[in-house]
Amino acid sequence: MLCLLAACGGGAARSPAPAAAPARAGASGAAVRSLRSALVNGTTLAYQLVGDSGTTVVFVHGSLGDFRDWDAQIAAFAQTHRVLVYSRRYHPPNAARDDSQTYSPMLHAEDLTALLLSLELAPAHIVGADYGAYTALVLAREHPEVVRSLVLAEPPLVPFLTHTQEGDALRRNYYATVLDPARAAFSRGDSLGALRAFLPGFDALPAATKTVMQRRAFELRREMVANREQYLPVVTCAELGSMHTSVLLLSGARSTPMFRTITDELGRCLSNDTTVVIPSAGHAMQRDQPPYYNTVVLRFLATH
């Protein structure tokens, strides 16, 4: 999700999470288990499973992110739930492997379904951020049997923006200033230029952070060169209205108009949802305001 802190609102970009650490004790006293891996759906996914009781909560990270995006959530949620954090296909520390698959929420949803079934954790609460929320939504549409509830924090459902003239202007601007320049840079072999396009605040980041981002360029390239109709597939209002899964929509008070518009449209289409605005937070709301974010999500999960 770090990628969109600057590109899509939420203030200055932050340093990425530190390198994976060995097992450690959380605030709840539950031990964070060592990093594991599972071979599912033709790929190997790194994951951590924390907590021994309660329903399972799965956290799904966004673009240029990995399982460490949820470090501020693990201990709080492990007190009452089993917590699964994992890195999606192509994301560190998973192998940077060209497997000829198209980067899409459908692909990641199938990966997550296979992971949940292999670990015998379904049905689970699915908490998604950014592209991880897009993945979670497609998962609930395609495999409702593995989803107990959904928490969606600003999925980039860009096709939703075509419903109004104002929204379509936001969509065209996002393509023209972020996605298209990043894609063009990758096409000419300029990964640094692509990161600068996708992360407008890239040059202001600390040197160590820029190095980490450059190491993650493989993942971003998979996103940017993907077939756009598959990378940003249409999810219709009718499809959303027919879903029976309970949904909590989260929006950052400091997020950009594009994400606020998408969240408003989701709220209009979903038949069973609640929307909460996280104060003083941008797109990376679970990092901007962890206590508030954790309280809101835990209260929702407690009733579902």
- Do 49 and 84 meet the contact criterion of CB atoms below 8 Å apart? yes
- Do 59 and 68 meet the contact criterion of CB atoms below 8 Å apart? no
Which CATH number applies to 3-164+234-302?
Answer: 3.40.50.1820
Residue type for 260, please? Answer: R
- Which pTM does this prediction carry? 0.90
Distances (CA, A) of 65 to 13, 118, 164, 267: 13, 23, 31, 26
Question: Tell me, what's the pLDDT at 87?
Answer: 97
The residues that bridge with 31 in the sheet, in sequence order, are 25
Distances (CA, A) of 11 to 105, 252, 257, 258, 273: 26, 11, 14, 15, 27
Q: Which helix (H) or strand (E) holds 58?
A: strand 56-60
Distances (CA, A) of 214 to 204, 206, 210, 217, 244: 14, 12, 6, 5, 41
Domain parsing of the chain, residue ranges: 3-164+234-302
Compute the Cα dihedral for 94, 96, 97, 103 and give only its sign.
positive
In sequence order, what are the residues at sequence separation of 6 or more whose Cβ sits closer than 8 angstroms to the Cβ of residue 120? none
- DSSP state string for 162-187: GGSHHHHHHHHHHIIIIIHHHHHHHH
Question: Tell me, what's the pLDDT at 6?
Answer: 38
Residue type for 268, please? Answer: R
C-alpha torsion angle, residues 191, 154, 245, 47 (rounded to 10):
40
Question: Tell me, what's the pLDDT at 33?
Answer: 60
Q: For the chain, 304 residues long, give each residue's pLDDT as a single digit of tens.
A: 444 443 343 333 333 443 333 333 333 333 346 899 999 999 999 999 999 889 999 999 999 999 999 999 999 999 999 999 999 999 999 999 999 999 999 999 999 999 999 999 999 999 999 999 999 999 999 999 999 999 999 999 999 999 899 999 999 999 999 999 999 999 999 999 999 999 988 999 999 989 888 988 999 999 999 999 999 999 999 999 999 999 999 999 999 999 999 999 999 999 777 899 999 999 999 999 999 999 999 999 999 9
Distances (CA, A) of 194 to 130, 150, 186, 189, 213: 19, 32, 6, 9, 11
C-alpha torsion angle, residues 256, 258, 260, 265 (rounded to 10):
180
- DSSP state string for 62-77: -TT--GGGGHHHHHHH
- Do 252 and 4 meet the contact criterion of CB atoms below 8 Å apart? no
d(Cα 20, Cα 71) in Å, to the nearest integer? Answer: 11
d(Cα 25, Cα 27) in Å, to the nearest integer? Answer: 7
